[in-house]
Copies of this chain bind each other. A is one copy, B any other.
């Protein structure tokens, strides 16, 4: 059966379904036109139980109908689903993602485990959809009938989506970014409230390293055989602030070619990618929204822009040190996690790569 887009319906499994990212996957996929939730997996300890009985639902609305009654399965490599969205803990991801790809599943992973593998594409659907071509090498080399595609870390995606049009148009030379990240980025239970209320934690384990490496892979290239990192200097300061959802990042950067501030803003504002061209179900109309108010973006007011799939930029201006500066905000568990995976899967489904 094919829907109005001409894309056939696929069964999907959500791996690690009861965590915060797993729940976001459920919320995004519960009434998806192309994907049908066929399985929810979890640790062996919870397997066999009813999802609704063992999961505290973190979101405002109730669990989607039907989900509460699904029986949780232990994560295994013979799951009965074509596509797997992975929100597994790193250990379980190391154990099962490759095994599932080997047995023919198309795994879209939000986990860091395979992000830096030489034959695993790390994709933001608007930014580097061409990296999906690496799947041919991946399958051939590994003897897989399935595949693994990863999306990146929430803070890296937020940065890279807004910076991509600047890199494509002008070329980035240097970046200093300082983040103010929401507590949901650490999952549940995640950040203790005694560390969050009336406080800032100026450190997030491995986050600065991930931001640097992933940004360079996102904005880098695939030459048919290997990925080449983008070539610029990148420095991140990663901080946790008492915000529920939405990562805010202040960015100072230098660009080649001396564009005006207006050119910089126009370049971001008019950026569109394949998801917009193909009108993918989860694609926001505008991936990078540029606001004119002097005090935006703000988590409360902007994190749900484009149903959480747009990033919002504000305060684009000159920087006395690096040339340009601005603020960018993205919804960390939607655009920065589950939504990014779903969009990648939609892209590859529409292109018939999976």
Contacts and interface: CB of A to CB of B under 8 A. Distances in A.
A328 B322 CA distance: 21
B250 A320 contact: no
Contacts of A175: 321
B314 A176 contact: no
Interface in A150-202: 174-176, 178, 180, 183-184, 188-202
Given A193-B192, A300-B60, A321-B235, A241 B200 contact: yes
Interface residues of A, number: 61
Interface in A205-263: 212, 233-235, 237, 239, 241-244, 248, 250, 252
Nearest to A297: B202
Contacts of A233: 320-321
Contact of A174 (B200, B301, B321): B321
B300 A176 contact: no
A22 interface: no
B180 A59 contact: no
B202 A250 contact: yes
B202 A193 contact: no
A61 interface: yes
Contact of A199 (B188, B252, B299): B299
A145 interface: no
Task: Please indicate which of the listed interface residues A183, A192, A244 has the most CB atoms of chain B within 10 Å of its own CB.
Answer: A192
A303 B189 CA distance: 22
Contacts of A327: 202, 237
Given A193-B183, A242-B193, A296 B202 contact: yes
Contact of A237 (B192, B203, B250): B250
A65 interface: no
A180 B237 CA distance: 12
Task: Please indicate which of the listed interface residues A184, A243, A250, A297 has the most CB atoms of chain B within 10 Å of its own CB.
Answer: A250
Nearest to A238: B250
Contact of A203 (B60, B192, B244, B294): B294
Contacts of A353: none
Nearest to A205: B294
B248 A200 contact: yes
Contacts of A203: 294-295, 315
A319 interface: yes
A58 interface: yes
Contact of A194 (B188, B197, B304): B188
A325 interface: yes
A298 interface: yes
B178 A303 contact: no
A13 to B, nearest CB: 25
A180 to B, nearest CB: 5
A193 B245 CA distance: 11
Interface in A109-149: none
A55 B74 CA distance: 36
Interface of A: 20, 57-61, 174-176, 178, 180, 183-184, 188-203, 212, 233-235, 237, 239, 241-244, 248, 250, 252, 294-304, 314-315, 319-322, 325, 327
